[in-house]
Amino acid sequence: MQIQTQLSWSERIAEMICQQCDGEGYHVFPSERWAYVQGMTLMAMARTGKQYGKDEYVSFMKRHMDLYVQEDGSIGTYALEEYNLDQINQGKNLFELLETTEEQRYAEAAHLLAAQLAGQPRTSEGGFWHKKIYPFQMWLDGLYMSSPFLVQYAKTFDRPDLWDEVAHQILLIERKTRDPRTGLLYHGWDESKEQIWADSVTGCSAHFWSRAMGWYAMAIVDSLEHFPIHHPKRGTIIGIFERMCHALVRVQEQDSGLWFQVLDQGFRKGNYLEASGSSMFVYAMAKGVRLLYLEPHFRLAAEKGWQGLTSRLMEETEKGVKLNAICHGAGLSLDRDGSYSYYVGEQIVSDSFMGVAPLLLAALEMERLP
């Protein structure tokens, strides 16, 4: 790809995000409520600002967070009683705001989200339900939504018991969803085995969805970053992360360096090389190598994946960076049965922040590798 500018990839992607929100002043975010994709995007923007000394990107995050966080610390459009792990994710930005402004409202908002997790419905072994409306179900997605927030909350407010909680959640879902043959993790697990998508013996869903494993991979590296080195489960978490990354490398498509929507099904009819999961794996492996959670040879997999993203799925247009082949969304429910045809049949879009935000995170980590 011919590069026409001296800006880094992450700066160009951040500019595209600004333009999508509002080219005249970046005031309008394409979301009407406190939401997990918006939270991930704002976090990526703030990291870009800090990494490249561009205060406007940090201000972008603060401006949009302040649309929701009220003076008393309440959060507009958020309802604790939903007990929805997705709603925790945007709260990760509160710690940056609290550190830089020392405004108490950001601490109060963090306490509110932590209160949700204290009362989150649980499986018999203490695993967080993904949502109140999904009884006895754990999804890989939920680990990214909740664990990095909770571990940073533990660090910020001196709650060492919450490090134990995070370790328990990470290790429990890996034990319940890991396939011993491939080393890959199923998207979800239903303890009750009542759901249409759940195996009658294991309770697991039927397939390995790329983005679900991407959420989990990011959850681990982002949580470990704030874990104390003396925690007794830290080494175990690092170990399962490396074991999982070996499994991901085994299903990495060799020509492109990318990962399939359904990870282990190769070029089966309908399957495709998907942008969001691939970006998440590049991010997690690059960060894992940088922080020494992974052996150095995983850098090659990250670099190959990044090359695939830039050469195969990204374009530079007059309007900026364009990202293609993003799965718009997928889940597990009565009408989302977790079958192969379901995952490959979901809408494929371009430029959705569901893919662009992890792409920006991946770019930032690739640019930090020595």
pLDDT at 227: 96
pLDDT at residue 23, rounded to an integer: 53
Q: What is the pLDDT of residue 29?
A: 60
- Listed as ranges, residues in the chain with pLDDT below 50 are 1-4, 25-27
How much is the pLDDT for 26?
43
Structural domain spans, the chain: 9-368
Q: Alpha-carbon distance 136 to 142, whole Å?
A: 13
Q: What is the residue whose two structure tokens read 């830290």?
A: 234
Residue 282: which residues within 8 A CB-CB, separation 6 or more? 302, 305, 306, 309, 362, 365, 366
| 61 touches 54 (CB < 8 A) | no
The domain 9-368 is classified under which CATH number: 1.50.10.10, 1.10.565.10, 3.40.1350.10, 3.80.30.20? 1.50.10.10
Strands (E) across 128-185 are located at: 137-139
Whole-number pLDDT of residue 31: 60
Q: Six-digit token pair at 155?
A: 């660090």
Angle at 354 between CA 328 and CA 278, to 5 degrees: 90
List C-alpha distances in Å: 247 to 112, 143, 160, 237, 308.
Answer: 37, 19, 32, 16, 19
Is position 141 annotated as part of the catalytic site? yes
What is residue 3's predicted lDDT score, i.e. its pLDDT? 45
- Predicted confidence at residue 290, as pLDDT, reads 98
The predicted-structure confidence for 142-152, as pLDDT tens digits, reads as follows 999 999 999 99
Residue 344 belongs to what H/E stretch?
helix 340-345
Give the per-residue pLDDT at 317. Answer: 87
- State how far the Cα of 345 lies from the Cα of 252, in Å rounded to an integer: 21
Q: Check residue 19 and give its pLDDT.
A: 85
Among 332, 292, 302, smallest CA distance to 194 is for 332
Report residue 306 as tokens.
């990044």
Which pLDDT belongs to residue 21? 83
The residue assigned the tokens 């940088």 is: 290
DSSP string, 213-226: HHHHHHHHHHHHTT
Strands (E), the chain: 137-139, 188-190, 314-317, 320-323, 326-327, 348-349
The three-state secondary structure class of 209 is strand
pLDDT in tens, 36-92: 999 999 999 999 999 999 999 999 999 999 999 999 999 999 999 999 999 999 999
Residue of 55, 72, 141, 190 with catalytic role = 141
- pLDDT for 30: 57
The reported pLDDT for the residue numbered 177 is 98
CA distances from 222 to 17, 151, 239, 309, 366 (A): 22, 9, 15, 22, 15
